[in-house]
Amino acid sequence: MSYDPNQPQSPYGQPGQPQNPYEQQPQSPYEQPPYGQPQQPPYEQQSSQDYAQAQYAAPAYGAQPVPGYMPPQQPVRSRRGLWIALAIIGGLIVLSCAACGIFFVAGIGFFAKSVAVPAITVNEYYSAVEKQDYPTAFSYISANLTASNGQNLTQDLYTTAAQALDTVKGKVTNFSVGNVSTTNNVASVTVSVTRANAAPYNVHLQLQQVNGSWKITSYDNI
């Protein structure tokens, strides 16, 4: 087909084909929209943006921003109560030890006064008898003790009786202090005595505290 220069040209560049000025060509979804019209993103991209805006939307005026998530912290427990309890327990222990010490000392004093000292006196007395040291043995006897004839017991009378017993039963070879009982200032002591020529026998003595020392006030044998 030949070009005729005398043929009128279409104002839109297409020869011989009139075009409707109000007819628009279909627009590709990837073409830019006309100037002044906002571009709408695809549905998937718009949904993501809406979700992000909802997550990071600015707080309303005057409202405090929501802080990020922080794991709850365990409350710090005060140890003041523990230290107070330990202090109370320690004080009770100290008081208990002090009370035990007082009772222990008091118990020792009572034992020494009522049991140990009378037993020591009897032990020293029979140690002298075993050695046939009768003057020393007589020093543990009270001056108020009377002889079998009703007279006051003297050292000579005591020595004569002890020597006569040594002749009959033999000298003392062994002894042991047994039971000791006290009532106020009076003590009763049982002694098991063994002599060379006789079977063991028990001697019962009674002692009394006189001027801070224990003295033998009676005996049923030597």
Q: Sorting pLDDT into bands at 50, 70 and 90, what band is 95?
A: confident
Task: Look at residue 171 in the predicted model and tell me its pLDDT.
Answer: 96
Question: Who has greater pLDDT, 99 or 10?
Answer: 99
**Chain segment 119-167, per-residue pLDDT in tens:** 999 999 999 999 999 999 999 999 888 877 777 899 999 999 999 999 9
CA dihedral 107, 108, 110, 114 (to 10 degrees): 140
Residue range 108-219, CATH number: 3.10.450.50
Average pLDDT over residues 41-62: 53
Which residues pair with residue 218 across a beta bridge? 206
List alpha helices for the chain, DSSP H.
43-55, 80-111, 117-130, 134-138, 155-169
Q: What is the pTM of this model?
A: 0.52
Q: Picking from 82-91, 101-110, 114-123, 139-148, which range would have the lowest pLDDT averaged per residue?
A: 101-110
Kindly state the DSSP code that residue 211 receives in the 8-state scheme: T
Q: Sorting pLDDT into bands at 50, 70 and 90, what band is 202?
A: very high
Residue 140 tokens read as 């543990």
Q: What are the structural domain ranges in the chain?
A: 108-219
Closest CA to 190 of 146, 144, 126, 138: 126
Checking if the pLDDT of 49 tops 50, the result is: yes
How many degrees, rounded to 5, is the angle at CA 168 between CA 165 and CA 171?
A: 60
Residue 38 tokens read as 């906002």
Burial of 72 (0-12, 13-18, 19+ CB in 10 A): exposed
Phi then psi for residue 198, to 5 deg, are -150, 160
Task: Look at residue 155 in the predicted model and tell me its pLDDT.
Answer: 94
Task: Look at residue 201 in the predicted model and tell me its pLDDT.
Answer: 96
Kindly state the DSSP code that residue 140 receives in the 8-state scheme: T
Question: Who has greater pLDDT, 219 or 6?
Answer: 219
